[in-house]
Structure 1
Amino acid sequence: MRGARILAALAALLAAAGLVLDWVVGPALAVLAVFVLGVVWGGTVALVATVVLVALPVLVGAAASLAAWAYYALALLLAAGMGQEIGRRLRKIELRQRRLRSNMRAVMRAAQRATRFQDPEELIARVPRLFEQGPARATCVVEFVGDEIRVVSGACNPLPWKELVHEALREGQPAYQEEGPDRAVLVVPMCGGRLFVLEAVAPLDEDERGLVNAFVDVVCLVRQKLIESREAEQFGRLMTALASSRSLKEASEKVIQLLIPLLGASSGAVMIFRQGRFEPLAMVGRIPPEEEALLLSGLPAGWGAIWRSYIQRHPLFIEDYGRFDLRVEEVYQAGIRSLVFVPVSGERRARIVLVMQDERVRTWSEEDRNVLALVARGLGLMAEQFLVRERMDALLRLEREVLGSFIDEAYETLMRYAVRLVPGAEAGSLLVRTDDGRFVYAAALGYDLESLREVAFSLEDVRDAWYNAGEEKWAQGEPRIVSTVEQDIATMSYKTAPVEVIDQAGRVREIKADLCFPIVYQGEVLAVMNLDSFSDPEAFDDESVEAARIFAQQTALLLHEQHYRKLLERAAHTDPLTGLHNRRAFDEDLVTLWKSAQRYGYPLALLVMDLSGFKQINDRFGHAAGDQVLQEVARILNTHTRNGDRIYRWGGDEFAVLLPHTGLAGAVRAARRYAAAIERVCLEDHCVHANIGAASFPEDAQKPEELLKLADSRMYQAKAAGLVVEPRE
């Protein structure tokens, strides 16, 4: 600038000399000189120079007309004005460039300082201090909590610019507003749902706003790198913790223990969906007693936020639980104010939900969400391995239980394990093939088995109308899935069973999805299992089909083994005359059924009966006739027995009946029914009658030998008193 002023002064002197020496060349030089002076020195200097240069020709007596002199003066004035305006603009440009360079240096220094941070949250907290120099009067980082603005860091007051902040958040673009010559506000969206607010000391041009945007981009880039570094470290810690876990429960506990300090949460739980309920795998932290009791009891399908997250297969972040539409009042009253639900999945569909919660209303940041997604993925991959191992262990236990139980109990055990082990199952039923080729219900979970036993199905009913996947897949035991999304399950059921039975006992109108698979051994279908979901039309997937295949293979071997064991046991435990179970079978069954009744808490009754009048038939008509009478009595007892009751011939004319799930009153009614049927057995004018003693556990006896002794004693009391049954009621 100093050089320009010197040149301007020389130009003025040269113009003056030119006017003195030559009136022709001088005016041109004068105009140029005034213009230069206006540019460099400003309008005042140019005006003074104009006056001097106009007066100079007069003073030196230059020969010039009045018109020439006037034109000369006007040219000088115009040159002075143009020089002044151009100079003003050049000085403004220079000032802007200085400010821009200063701001750029400030932004560069701030960006360099940003790269030195190691903690992403500390970086965000210090952003306003990084911008202490430059165009800022005040800066801050803000976020929205509901409809309110919260200052995360910095010292500005964003409330006067709430609409501007809203606009930047809504549009995802910087928002700018000028408020006079010495005040302007720029709002720039940041990472993590936050916004950078800058109150400038003067209006900012486009380049300056671009510098601020670039600074925010640098901060977010540095923050992202820090987050990725932290996530890698956390993932390493997570995998180390999971690799050292010996069970899914232990792995779940370690995950929550890792997350509580990372998220600043108060507690957490891992829930698994089984048999229509969410069961807790792990609970860690400050869980209120009321909520803990609720979780331990199991959360039913369709319940609350956990079901929404599970069925939609997406995380659900609740910042203010008090405003949530599916709020559970017991949980809210227990003090929980913020929750997050994250489905835990590996390569398969999520059946587990990770729950983290806090006792305060809070925002779940982008970093929180990334951490939860990372942890859920790691836990999901590990959970799949644990669940496969759990199924294998369960199949080994299943084998021991089935081979050590009666066939009816084996069916119940198979049903219970199937619903537990096949993902998506909430209930189920087992159809077994009888000797005449029909299929009847042998076990059910979640249904009225006694009513279902009234129904029998033909091969065509089960294979063609219900299974309906083709004979080839039927023979291979291939599972098939039916969902209400595709067809009406109730209509399918009505083709094969009475509506009044299948509606009530079979609950077909409630079924949303069915997984059906034949149980095949060497090409022969031994049974058919149905697993059902009442809550989710998409409950069954490839994982369910795979689990069903493995279960069907194991079940086929067990049922085949049970069948041949049954044949051998039948020969050793069957009375050859009547075909009933013998005394050896009774002694074994009494102990086994007693243990089962004790374990599962149901009653067990015993009837001991003796035939009066039988000796007279033997004496009069001979033992062959007596054998015919015993065979007829056995046939009648079999005809009038209930499903599950077991009839035995002890020897001679003594019989016994074991009645599971039956108390003393039910046993007395059954005794009267048997006695009434036996009275119809006659040979000519000689008829037989029954005297029966009844006893039950736990009403009458606490040990099997006590039960037997009491029932036998009551039989003799009835015989001595001429009664049908003792006790009478």
Structure 2
Amino acid sequence: MKYRLRTLLYLSIALCSLLLGIRERVWDQAFAYTLPWLMIFTATTASVYGFYWGFLAAGLSALLLPGFNAMGGVFLLLSAWLAHSVGDSLRRAHRQARALAKSHRLVAEALQALTPIQHRQALLHRLPELLASLGEGGHIGVWVPHGEGFRCLSSVPPLNLQEIPAQGVEGRAFREGRPQHVPDVRKEPCHIAAPGFSTLAELALPLFERGEGVAVLNLERSRPFLNEEVEGLIRFAETVSLQLDRLADLEVRRLLSELATGLQGVHTLQEAAEMALALLLKELELEAGVVWVAQGARMEALAHRGVTEPGLLAVLQEGLPYDRGLAWEVYRTAEPYYTQAYAEDPRGVAALRRLDWRTFVAHPVPTPGSVRSRFVLVVGEKRPRPWRKAEREVLLLFCRTLGVGFERLVEKARHEGVNHLMQELLEKPLEELYQRVLHEAIQQVPGSETGSLLVREGGEYRFRAAVGYDLEGLQALAISPQAALVWYRRGEEPAHRGEPRLMTTEELAIFEVSHQTAPPEVIDTAGRVREIQANLCQPMLYRGEVLAYLNLDNLHDPRAFGEDSLRAARFFSAPMATLLHESRTHRLLEEAALTDPLTGLPNRRAFDRILPEELHRAVRCRYPLSLVVLDLKGFKAINDCLGHATGDQALIQVARALEGERRSGDHLFRWGGDEFAAIFPHTSQEDALVVCYRYARAIAAICFGELCLGANIGLAAYPEDGETPDALLIAADTRMYRAKASGVTVAYSQG
């Protein structure tokens, strides 16, 4: 409006000046008065409309001068040129001011319109409509990368053309990362015409998020872009890029806040993984995801979401064997892996590649102190999709936060596992305790795949539990404390402080150290030491005594153990050492309660416990069993004539004589007083008779002066004499009294 009023004013001045010049020419014929008015007319015309129209005005004015005056013509031309110069500067300044004002208006209105938008996709979709509402004519479109070219996200007016190749002006702007202004598209070989639209000029503006091009704002007009308009639109695009950065920050903060809140409400690693997958897949609009955890030589699926194909579900159930699949690559390198062409990668899982899966990312979930990424997050979808820098930043921060949450839950599970183990195993037999402790250690210490427990018994260490090794073969070995320290390699003082030790094949040959402590022919086969790539040895200490050495091994990865493994081993060893000590003490007390203090043989209580167990096994496995009850002859005479001390010595010698004749697997008991008992598993009555006569001869050889001992033996056998402990015991006891009454050595069933 102001521009029109100004133009009208200048036009009025020019017409008035022309009329006044004509008046002076007609009435006064005075050159001195006519020339100034005509110069004003010429200057005004040149100032407003340019030098061409000023030149014509000067020519018209020269015709109106009284007579032909060359000097007047010069003055008129000079006024036209000067007015044009000044006017051009003013017009240019005016255009720049208008363009700047428009640019500021664009930016201000863009900020006002874009700030309430909370999602980047919605913001990009809104741009053409916004620019159109602000008076930008022509065709406006937003193009995003898609495959080898670009896809139209939105446009005003709508386009039938939805995809274009990357060779166009949009592609050049995206590749070079700077605006592309084409004043005349007829001279541009890369121009891709918009159907149904006559284009003269094109402006392609790259839009950035986190410094990375993510889209192109493209404007096409049937008239040229003024330089000031181009500058204003570039500022508009820069404002949009800043808004994209702001939205990326908001998305990250919102996602991490939801993740942190969710982690506070879960109690197990599985719950945490399931919650994290649901959150991330929704945020990134992906199809499926899995959280893998490395357990020794296998990746196990901690949680999964969106996986429905039977072949993939089978892979999740079975896990990934060592070094199969890209999750293991991420485990080793701790570097994320992104791709849009997963199906072409030979390192991928075959079942997933067969489905022609394209978009894929395997991202490490770091946990403190680990040299390996023990957790790996995998997400993706079938269609190809580029991974933006902002999305990579989101995944990185997401996985770091998730790793902190996982570490908290691992520590919690570790405490709960140890507490449960303490309560569960305190009353268990030591053999069961040893194996259970080892299994728990392998589960709790990251990097563990196999292991063994070397327990101190008396003055030496023996293998009492093994996972992945031949325990029966290892049990034949007796390791001296000195040999155990050779294997430990750090010396006596660190061992007595309970410090763990790491040994890997990257440092030395593990089997050579093992050969210094045990025979190679045993430890190579039963212990598989040539296969061990990494060993963690943890002394299990109780009040300065190394009760056991816990050995945890990995047979595939020399760097399987890290600081987190050492921390877990230290945590685990202290309560387990207490448990071992208490269980050993409990066993010693129990053995004392079941042992006759004079002879060292198991007592009647032990007999009452063992007979039902052995008979149950004989019935279940259908093998014979024999029971013997033995009463000493001549013992009362020794006791009465030589005293109770000699009687005690007699009982001790009888126990030694019976132990000397005892076969492997047989059980001997002091039943009470001068009575003894024996259980012979896998022994028929006929075979038991032979053993009974050997026992009798051994006892008959015991003499104190002229007083010698003898035996009356009652023999009962399963299944002939009964199938219950009471039936066998009654039969054997009855026959023992019958042998005493009839004066025979052994009484048995002769039917």
TM-score, normalised with respect to structure 2: 0.70
Q: Over residues 335-368 of structure 1, what are the superposed CA-to-partner deviations in whole Å (9 max), with x where a residue is unaligned?
A: 8654444444565656434444445444556676
1: CA distance, partners of 2:226 / 2:610: 95
Distance 1:254 1:694 in 2: 64
Q: Helix, strand or coil for the counterpart of 2:412?
A: helix
- Distance (whole Å) between structure 2 residues aligned to residue 592 and residue 278 of structure 1: 42
In the alignment, the residues of structure 2 paired with residue 180 and residue 150 of structure 1 have an alpha-carbon distance, to the nearest angstrom, of: 21
In 2, are the aligned partners of 1:411 and 1:443 still within 8 Å (CA)?
A: yes
| Equivalent residue runs for 1:131-530 within 5 Å | 131-132=131-132, 133-135=134-136, 137-154=138-155, 155=158, 159=164, 162=167, 164-180=169-185, 182-191=200-209, 194-201=214-221, 204=225, 208-226=229-247, 228-229=249-250, 237-333=258-354, 338-345=359-366, 349=370, 351-358=374-381, 360-363=383-386, 376-377=399-400, 379-436=402-459, 438-463=460-485, 465-530=486-551
CA change 1:207–1:447 in 2 (3 A) is farther
Please name the residue that 2:67 is paired with. Answer: 59
* Paired residue secondary structure (1:399): helix
Q: Distance in 2 between matches of 1:546 and 1:79?
A: 93
Displacement after TM superposition at 1:555 (Å) = 1.8
Separation in structure 2 between the aligned mates of residue 203 and residue 536 of structure 1, nearest angstrom: 66
> Structure 2 vs 1, CA of residues 682 and 197 (structure 1 numbering), >3 Å: closer, same or farther?
farther
Q: Which has the larger radius of gyration?
A: 2
Equivalent-residue separation in structure 2 for 1:478 and 1:594 (angstroms): 47
| Pair 654,200 (structure 1): closer, same or farther in 2 beyond 3 Å | same
CA distance in 1, matches of 2:37, 2:717: 141
RMSD of aligned C-alpha atoms? 5.3
Measured after TM superposition, the shift of residue 415 of structure 1 is 0.9
Q: Shift of residue 476 of structure 1?
A: 0.7
Distance in 2 (CA, whole Å) between partners of 1:594 and 1:32 is: 135
The alignment status of 1:121 with 2:106, answered yes or no, reads no
Q: Is the 8 A contact 2:31 2:65 kept in 1?
A: no
Q: Secondary structure at the match of 1:442?
A: strand
What's the CA shift string for 1:377-412, capped at 9, x where partnerless? 554444333332322222233224433333222221
Query: 1:194 aligns to what SS in structure 2?
Result: strand
The answer on 1:648 being equivalent to 2:671 is no
Gaps of 5+ in 2: 1-5, 187-199, 636-649, 671-675, 702-714, 733-751
Secondary structure of the corresponding residue to residue 499 of structure 2: coil
State the one-letter code of the partner of 1:648: H
Determine the structure 1 residue equivalent to 2:661: 633
Alpha carbons 1:188, 1:197 under 8 Å: kept: yes
Instruction: Encode CA deviations 1:696-728: one digit per residue, 9 max, x unaligned.
Output: xxxx9xxx979x99xx99xxxxxxxxxxxxxxx
- The Cα of 1:576 is off from its aligned counterpart by 7.3
Deviations 1:173-216 (A, max 9, x none): 44555544831232313228521231332555665444334323
Question: What is the aligned partner in structure 1 of residue 742 from structure 2?
Answer: none
Partner Cα separation in structure 2 for residue 590 and residue 78 of structure 1: 135
Q: Take 1:705 and 1:468, find their aligned partners in 2: how far apart are those partners? A: 55
**Shift in CA distance, 17/480, structure 1 to aligned 2, threshold 3 Å:** farther
Alignment of 1:638-717 (within 5 A): 648-649=667-668, 654-656=678-680
State the Cα deviation string for residues 470-514 of structure 1 (Å, max 9, x = none): 433211101223344555544544444445544444344443432
Once residues 435 and 231 of structure 2 are traced to their aligned partners in structure 1, the CA distance between those partners, rounded to angstroms, is 73
User: How many residues in Structure 1 have an aligned counterpart in Structure 2?
Assistant: 655
Separation in 2, partners of 1:492, 1:136? 82
Distance of 1:48 and 1:401 partners within structure 2 = 111
* SS of residue paired to 1:291: helix
Asked if structure 2 preserves the Cα contact closer than 8 Å seen for 1:143 and 1:193, the reply is: no
**Preserved contact between residue 149 and residue 164 of structure 2 (Cα < 8 Å):** no
Matches within 5 A, 1:490-639: 490-574=511-595, 584-585=605-606, 588=609, 608=625, 629-634=657-662, 637=664
Letter aligned with residue 631 of structure 1: E
Cα offset, 1:419, TM superposition: 0.6
Q: Secondary structure at 2:145's aligned position in 1?
A: strand
| Shift in alpha-carbon separation, 1:34–1:542, aligned structure 2, 3 A | same
- Contact 1:649/1:656 (8 A) holds in 2: no
Say which SS state the counterpart of residue 138 (structure 2) adopts: strand
Shift of 1:416: 0.9
- Aligned 8 A contact 2:143 2:218 in 1: no
Partners in 1 of 2:587 and 2:184 — Cα distance? 95
Paired letter, 2:462: V
Q: 1:492 to 1:116 in 2, by over 3 A?
A: same
Provide the C-alpha distance between the structure 1 equivalents of 2:487 and 2:546, rounded to a whole number of angstroms.
15
Cα distance in 2 for residues equivalent to 1:21 and 1:296: 111
* 8 A Cα contact 1:580 1:647, kept in partner: no
Amino acid at match of 1:546: R
**Residue type of the alignment partner of 1:439:** Y
How far residue 217 of structure 1 moved from its aligned partner, in angstroms, is 3.6
User: Is the contact between residue 607 and residue 693 of structure 1 (CA under 8 Å) also seen in structure 2?
Assistant: no
Larger displacement relative to structure 2 (367-376 or 424-433): 367-376
SS at match of 1:279: strand
* SS across alignment from 2:580: helix
Separation of aligned partners in 1, 2:114 and 2:21? 57
Distance 2:651 2:586 in 1: 33
1: CA distance between counterparts of 2:483 and 2:293? 36
User: Aligned pair in 2 of structure 1 residues 483, 72: CA closer, same or farther (>3 Å)?
Assistant: farther
What is residue 738 of structure 2 aligned with on the other side?
Answer: none
Task: Give the CA deviation at 1:523.
Answer: 0.9
Range with bigger deviation, 405-414 or 381-390: 381-390
Match of 1:552, SS state, is: helix
Secondary structure of 1:131's partner? helix
Q: Distance in 2 between matches of 1:478 and 1:596?
A: 44
Instruction: Tell me the percent identity.
Output: 30
Instruction: Tell me the amino acid that sits aligned with residue 459 of structure 1.
Output: P
Check whether the contact 1:320–1:362 (CA below 8 A) recurs between aligned residues.
no
CA 1:80/1:238 → structure 2, altered by over 3 Å: closer, same or farther?
A: closer
| Cα displacement (A) at 1:518 | 0.8
CA separation in 2, counterparts of 1:592 and 1:270?
A: 47
Change (3 A) 1:340 1:434: same
How big is the shift at 1:559? 1.9
For residue 102 of structure 1, report the CA deviation from its aligned partner.
4.0
Query: Kindly tell me: are residues 180 and 371 of structure 1, through their superposed partners in 2, closer, same or farther at Cα, counting changes over 3 Å?
Result: closer
Secondary structure, aligned partner of 1:197: strand
Amino acid paired to 1:113: A
- For residues 544 and 393 of structure 1, what CA distance do their matches in structure 2 show? 18
> Taking structure 1 as reference, are residues 173 and 628 closer, same or farther at Cα in structure 2, changes over 3 Å only?
same
1:111 shift after superposition: 3.4
**Aligned equivalents of 2:697, 2:545: Cα separation in 1:** 44
CA distance in 2: counterparts of 1:594 and 1:259, whole angstroms: 61
